[in-house]
Structure 1
Amino acid sequence: MSDTPIKIIHRATWIGSIANVGLALLKITVGKMTGSQALVADGVHSFSDLVTDTAILIGSRYWTAPADKGHPYGHGRFETLTNIFIGVLLAAVGIGIGWDAASALGHTAPTIPGMMAFWAALASILVKEALYRWTVVQAKRINSRSLHANAWHHRSDALSSLPVAIAVIVNWMVPGLHYLDQVAALIVTAMIMKAAFDILWPAILELTEAEADTDVESQIQKYASEVPEIKEVHAIRSRRTGSTILLDFHLLVDPDMRVEDAHTISEEFKSHLLNEMAEVVDVIIHIEPFTCAERIVNPCCDDKSCD
């Protein structure tokens, strides 16, 4: 029996959580021992992942639930809210780390972290990059945007450890480069803020009812052109709810066609779209006659040259 989406989400999240706890403790402890502010900041970043993991574990119980009377369009927006929470938390962590690093520049005696900090940062890079790649595969299996966002949280942790490792090596080779560790912490901040934006922006667009994807309309027109009975498709609207897309559009058929036949064509076309477009979960089709009054994509001409 194949795993359900919620089982895949929970397994991927729990594995990530265990890794986050171990790496956070390692980086904070080693950072304190070696005097690396950047490594301590990176460890705090890893601990912040635990909060997002908890949000996913709780939120997934809601957004994977089927549509009901209270939520006839499903519960996908719970996933959107989870993504916003992840993005806001990530941004808050980045701002805190950046503030501490900027405050230390010129006001705190520069330190040269020991080589142990390099090995801790390297371990984080390897483990978190592996977690990112594995979590992305799991996210694609079930088409989960939140799980994909959490995967990028893993990668942001891996990327944020990179300048820490470089700073330790450069400081070890050239001790005279003061405040390099604080500069590395600021680079970590920039990477975290970029990851937060990449998670937040799509979620904000979704809440403002932005178009789901730019290529949705072209896909529908392509499939419609393959059905001779469909004369035209227009007024295509799409919106995203979590990891799913809802569609509605007008479908034009021969005005002399029976209502029953037109309905059959629309139902078959709807089934085709649901099968071919993985993220689409519901389609509402408004049937119209292919007359001059209704045609938009292929309007009538007075001289009949474009009929």
Structure 2
Amino acid sequence: MQDSSEQQDIHGRVVRSATLVGAVLNIFLAVLKIVIGKLSGSQALVADGVHSFSDLATDAAILLGSRFWTAPADSSHPYGHGKFETLTNVFIGVMLVLVGIGIGWESIQTLSETPPPPPGMMAFYAALISILLKEVLFRWTIRKAREINSGALRANAWHHRSDALSSIPVAVAVIANAMFPALKYLDQIAALLVTGMIMKAAFEILWPAFQELTDARGNEDVEKQLKKMAESDADIREIHAIRSRQTGGSTLLDFHLLVDPELTIDAAHTISERFKSQILDQMEDVIDVVIHIEPYTCEERIVNPCSLEEYLIQQNKRKADKH
């Protein structure tokens, strides 16, 4: 099994290589769409090109941020630097919001002006190229993000998808204008649709990041898997008070583990350490586990509470042990 520092190093290399590929494509598409948009008179395509340029800012944030969040835990950050990845996601989301507001505001302003002539077919072909290339980039980047469980890379992948989706209204508006020249402001309306898609993508990035920064409950699937693992261990009588939280693409766990009250402290500790190692081996997302050992007594049992008969038997046994 790879150690934590080696995993972080691989994680960082994958993030940076995938981001660099996206950055090169973003430069090409941004220049293409803005130039063609100006030449063809498509405001929506120019707005879409600005959106592509905004991707470069998020690419730069990921390239810089990954140098921090992949660093191993130290005395100043004993839980690691995963929150730097979360902060990078916040930056990406805020950038999307600002770009969306700018595009939407400009579109609304031009609705009160004399409608410009309909854009030429060059705008349609540029939008089509953008849709195809950004969709391919999205699928490749999201696969890389899942391989290393990177929230920032996943956010950037959805940023690519939002760019692909935002080109669809542009292409539709060009075709509609060509078929129905009497329809006015289709290009501006397409730009407003682009704004809506950008805002949706921003929310889908910002909300999980907000949840992480406020230490909201982590992945419920991790907790379910933990319970199944405990149930299959004959030495573990019960686990409860499970708490999980996210830090970047990783999960931190702590819980109470109940064992036979007759065991020695050393034996209970051995069970706890064995179970902790099993968790870290089988749950790739979990990077740290804190276990509080408790005796399986009526006072401590929560999942399987004692019956009145069990409670009385236990109390009588304790009184006998004292005498």
Shorter-chain TM range is: over 0.9
1:75 aligns with 2:73: no
Aligned letter for 1:252? L
- Give yes or no for the alignment of 1:9 onto 2:15: yes
Moved more, 114-123 or 208-217: 208-217
Q: Secondary structure, in 3 states, of the residue corresponding to 2:308?
A: coil
Q: 1:4 is paired with a residue of what secondary structure?
A: helix
The one-letter code of the counterpart of 1:22 is F
Give SS of 1:237's match: strand
- Give the number of the structure whose residues are more often helix, by fraction: 2
Larger radius of gyration: 2
Which whole-Å deviations, capped at 9, do the CAs of 1:58-104 have from their partners, x for residues lacking one? 00000000000110000000001000000000111001101111111
Deviations 1:194-236 (A, max 9, x none): 0000000000011111001222322211110000110000010
Counterpart secondary structure, 1:285: strand
Give, in whole Å, the separation in 1 of the partners of 2:172 and 2:229: 51
Contact 1:112-1:168 at 8 Å conserved across structures: yes
Task: Give the alignment's Cα RMSD to 1 decimal.
Answer: 1.6
Aligned letter for 2:151? R
Q: Is the 8 A contact 1:111 1:181 kept in 2?
A: no
Residues 143-162 of structure 1 deviation map (CA, whole Å, 9 limit, x = unaligned): 11100100111000000001
For 1:43 and 1:150, the matched residues in 2 are separated by 17
Alignment match, 1:123 = 129
1:215 to 215, 221, 232: 221
Among candidates 128, 134, 139, match of residue 140 of structure 2: 134
Hey, what does 1:227 align to over in structure 2?
Answer: 233
- When structure 1 is superposed on structure 2, of 255-264 and 194-203 the one drifting more is 255-264
Q: Please say if residues 36 and 111 of structure 1, whose CA atoms lie closer than 8 Å, have aligned partners that are also in contact.
A: no
Q: Find the aligned partners of 1:134 and 1:221 in 2 and give their Cα distance.
A: 34
1:55 aligns with 2:75: no
Who is 1:296 aligned against? 302
Divergent runs of 4+, >3 A: none
**Counterpart of 2:229 in structure 1: which amino acid?**
Y
Would the aligned equivalents of 1:111 and 1:179 in 2 still touch at CA under 8 Å? no
| 1:252-291 matches, cutoff 5 A | 252-291=258-297
Match of 1:22 among 15, 28, 33: 28
Gaps of 5+ in 1: none
211-220 vs 12-21, which moves further = 211-220
In the comparison of the two structures, how many residue pairs are matched?
Answer: 306
Task: Give the deviation of 1:117 after TM superposition.
Answer: 0.1
Q: TM-score, normalised by structure 1?
A: 0.97
Partner of 1:182: 188
**C-alpha distance in structure 1 between counterparts of 2:87 and 2:114, whole Å:** 40
Residue in structure 1 matching 2:44, options 38, 42, 46: 38
Corresponding position of 1:194: 200
Partner residue in 1 for 2:318:
none
The separation in 2 between residues aligned to 1:221 and 1:111, in whole angstroms, is: 64
- Shift of residue 278 of structure 1? 1.6
Give, in angstroms, the shift of residue 299 of structure 1.
0.9
Measured after TM superposition, the shift of residue 110 of structure 1 is 3.5
> Residue by residue, what CA displacement relative to the aligned partner does 1:270-306 show, whole Å, maximum 9, x if unpaired?
111112222110000000000001011111121449x
Q: Does 1:96 align with 2:66?
A: no
Normalising to structure 2: TM-score of the pair?
A: 0.92
Residue 17 of structure 1 and its aligned partner are, at CA, apart by: 0.5
| Structure 1: distance between partners of 2:221 and 2:145 | 21
CA distance in 2, matches of 1:156, 1:144: 18
- Give the Cα–Cα distance (whole angstroms) in 2 for the partners of residues 108 and 254 of structure 1: 82
Partner amino acid for 1:114?
A: G
Find the aligned partners of 1:109 and 1:189 in 2 and give their Cα distance.
Answer: 20
Counterparts of 1:262 and 1:54 in 2: how far apart (Å)? 49
1:169 corresponds in structure 2 to 175
* Distance (Å, rounded) in 2 between the aligned partners of 1:151 and 1:111: 35
Equivalent position of 2:253 in the other structure: 247
